[in-house]
Chains A and B, each alone.
Chain A
Amino acid sequence: MSGGALEGIVVLDLTQGVAGPYATKYFSDYGAEVIKIEQPGHGDSARRLGPFPGDEPHLERSGMFLHLNTGKRSVALDLRTASGQRILRQLAKQADIVFESFRPGTLARLGLDEATLARLNPRAALVQLSNYGQTGPYRDFEADDFLAYASGGVFRVTGDPERPPIRLGLYAPLFLVGVVAAGLAMGAFFGSRRDGAGERVDISMMEVLASSMDRGGPNLVAYQYSGELTTTRERMGRLSALPNGIYPCADGYVHVSTQTAWWPRLCRTIGRPELADDDYYVSRFTDFEAAPDFDALIYPWFLERTKQEVMVAAQAEGWPASAINSMDDVFRDPHFRAREFFRSIEHPLAGTLELPGPPFRMLGTPAEVRRAPLLGEHTAEVLRSRLGYSAEQIVRLHQGGVI
Chain B
Amino acid sequence: MSESERRLPLEGVRVLAQAIVWAGPFATLILADLGAEVIEVESIQHLNPTRTNYRHLPPALLAGRIGTNYVDRDGSEGFWDRQSYFNYGKRGCKSVTLNLRSERGRELFYELVRQADVFIENNAANVAEHLRVDYPTLSSINPRLIMVRFPGFGTVGPYRHFKGYGTIMEAVAGHTAIRGYEDSDPSMTPNSLHGDPNAGANVAFAVQAALYARERTGQGQEIDLSQAEAVLGHLAHAFMDYSMNRRVHGHWGNRHPSMAPHDVYRCAGDDRWVAIAVPSDEAFAALCDAIGRPDLARDPRYATVVERYEHRTDLDAVIEAWTCRRDAREAMAKLQAAGVPAAELTHQEELTDHPQLVEREFFQRITHPAAGTHRYPGPMGRFARNPLTPVRGPAPTLGQHNRDVLCGVLGLSDEEYRALEEEQVIGTAYLETATT
B426 proximal to A (CB < 8 A): no
B73 proximal to A (CB < 8 A): yes
Stretch at the interface among A33-41, A254-262, A394-402: A254-262
**CB closest chain-A residue, reference B332:** A141
B163 proximal to A (CB < 8 A): yes
A133 proximal to B (CB < 8 A): yes
Interface residues of A in 143-183 (CB under 8 A from B): 143-144, 146-153, 155-160, 163-172, 175-176, 179-183
Name A327's contact: one of B35, B208, B242, B266 (CB within 8 Å).
B242
Give chain A nearest CB distance to B372 CB in angstroms: 9
Give chain B nearest CB distance to A255 CB in angstroms: 4
B130 proximal to A (CB < 8 A): no
- CB atoms of A324 and B346 under 8 A apart: no
B175 proximal to A (CB < 8 A): yes
- CB atoms of A168 and B175 under 8 A apart: yes
Residue interface mask B161-179, A partner, CB < 8 A = 1? 1111101110111111111
Bound form: Cα–Cα A143–B357 in Å:
16
- CB atoms of B158 and A334 under 8 A apart: yes
Residue interface mask B357-384, A partner, CB < 8 A = 1? 1011010000000010011111011111
Name A187's contact: one of B34, B60, B161 (CB within 8 Å).
B34
Residue in B202, B210, B279, B343 with the greatest tally of chain A CB atoms within 10 Å: B343
Knowing A165-B273, A169-B175, A230-B69, say if A5 contacts B234 (CB, 8 Å): no
B53 proximal to A (CB < 8 A): yes
Name A6's contact: one of B187, B212, B225, B383 (CB within 8 Å).
B212
Stretch at the interface among B190-198, B295-303, B307-315, B403-411: B190-198
Bound form: Cα–Cα A160–B249 in Å:
21
A383 proximal to B (CB < 8 A): no
**CB closest chain-A residue, reference B337:** A141
- CB atoms of B347 and A156 under 8 A apart: yes
- CB atoms of A363 and B385 under 8 A apart: no
A30 proximal to B (CB < 8 A): yes
- CB atoms of B341 and A143 under 8 A apart: yes
Bound form: Cα–Cα A325–B175 in Å:
8
Knowing A67-B236, A160-B181, say if A218 contacts B88 (CB, 8 Å): yes
- CB atoms of B187 and A245 under 8 A apart: yes
B256: chain A residues at CB < 8 Å are 146, 170
Name B192's contact: one of A30, A54, A168, A257 (CB within 8 Å).
A168
**Count of B residues near A, CB < 8 Å?**
164
- CB atoms of A225 and B221 under 8 A apart: no
A113: chain B residues at CB < 8 Å are none
Stretch at the interface among B7-15, B96-104, B111-119, B413-421: B7-15
B239: chain A residues at CB < 8 Å are 63, 67, 327, 330, 356
Residue interface mask B217-245, A partner, CB < 8 A = 1? 10111111110111011111111111111
B92 proximal to A (CB < 8 A): no
- CB atoms of B209 and A362 under 8 A apart: yes
Knowing A169-B178, A255-B167, A324-B176, say if A217 contacts B88 (CB, 8 Å): yes
B209: chain A residues at CB < 8 Å are 5-6, 26, 30, 186, 362, 365
- CB atoms of A360 and B224 under 8 A apart: yes
Stretch at the interface among A75-83, A85-93, A195-203: A195-203
Bound form: Cα–Cα A143–B384 in Å:
24
A320 proximal to B (CB < 8 A): yes
**Count of A residues near B, CB < 8 Å?**
160
B43 proximal to A (CB < 8 A): no
A95 proximal to B (CB < 8 A): no
Name A207's contact: one of B167, B248, B362 (CB within 8 Å).
B362
A59 proximal to B (CB < 8 A): no
Knowing A63-B237, A175-B198, say if A328 contacts B242 (CB, 8 Å): yes
- CB atoms of A223 and B181 under 8 A apart: no
- CB atoms of B243 and A210 under 8 A apart: no
A336 proximal to B (CB < 8 A): yes
**CB closest chain-A residue, reference B360:** A136
**CB closest chain-A residue, reference B213:** A5
Bound form: Cα–Cα A352–B251 in Å:
28
Knowing A225-B69, A362-B209, say if A63 contacts B241 (CB, 8 Å): yes
B342: chain A residues at CB < 8 Å are 142, 147
B109: chain A residues at CB < 8 Å are none
Name A180's contact: one of B30, B174, B179 (CB within 8 Å).
B30
Name B348's contact: one of A148, A229, A320, A336 (CB within 8 Å).
A229
B190: chain A residues at CB < 8 Å are 158-160, 233, 236
Residue in B197, B208, B347, B355 with the greatest tally of chain A CB atoms within 10 Å: B197
Name A257's contact: one of B150, B168, B179, B340 (CB within 8 Å).
B168
Give chain B nearest CB distance to A249 CB in angstroms: 11
Secondary structure at chain A's binding surface: helix, strand, loop or mixed?
mixed
Residue interface mask B233-274, A partner, CB < 8 A = 1? 111111111111111111011101110001110100000011
Knowing A156-B347, A212-B26, say if A218 contacts B69 (CB, 8 Å): yes
- CB atoms of B257 and A51 under 8 A apart: yes
Name A191's contact: one of B9, B191, B340 (CB within 8 Å).
B9
A152: chain B residues at CB < 8 Å are 346
Bound form: Cα–Cα A138–B34 in Å:
26
Name B8's contact: one of A53, A186, A191 (CB within 8 Å).
A191
A323 proximal to B (CB < 8 A): yes
B122 proximal to A (CB < 8 A): no
A219: chain B residues at CB < 8 Å are 84, 348
Knowing A137-B356, A225-B71, A255-B167, say if A176 contacts B349 (CB, 8 Å): no
A220 proximal to B (CB < 8 A): yes
A355 proximal to B (CB < 8 A): yes
B291 proximal to A (CB < 8 A): no
B427 proximal to A (CB < 8 A): no
A235: chain B residues at CB < 8 Å are 65
Name A362's contact: one of B68, B206, B253 (CB within 8 Å).
B206
A240 proximal to B (CB < 8 A): yes
**CB closest chain-B residue, reference A186:** B208
A121 proximal to B (CB < 8 A): no
Knowing A160-B188, A163-B181, A175-B234, say if A63 contacts B244 (CB, 8 Å): yes
**CB closest chain-B residue, reference A63:** B240
B110 proximal to A (CB < 8 A): no
B275 proximal to A (CB < 8 A): yes
Name A335's contact: one of B153, B191, B245, B376 (CB within 8 Å).
B153
Interface residues of B in 132-190 (CB under 8 A from A): 148, 150, 153-154, 156-159, 161-165, 167-169, 171-181, 184, 186-190
Give chain B nearest CB distance to A270 CB in angstroms: 17
Name A338's contact: one of B157, B273, B345 (CB within 8 Å).
B157
A147: chain B residues at CB < 8 Å are 275, 277, 341-343
- CB atoms of A224 and B376 under 8 A apart: yes
B383: chain A residues at CB < 8 Å are 187-188, 191, 199-201
Excluding A153-B347, A222-B69, A230-B84, 5 further A-B contacts by CB distance (< 8 Å) are A9-B212, A142-B341, A158-B179, A221-B84, A225-B69
What are 25 sample pairs from A and B whose C-beta atoms fall under 8 A apart? Answer: A51-B245, A150-B273, A160-B181, A166-B254, A169-B252, A170-B257, A179-B202, A183-B204, A188-B381, A194-B9, A195-B386, A199-B386, A201-B383, A215-B22, A217-B88, A226-B68, A230-B68, A246-B176, A247-B187, A318-B163, A320-B164, A325-B174, A338-B157, A356-B229, A360-B150
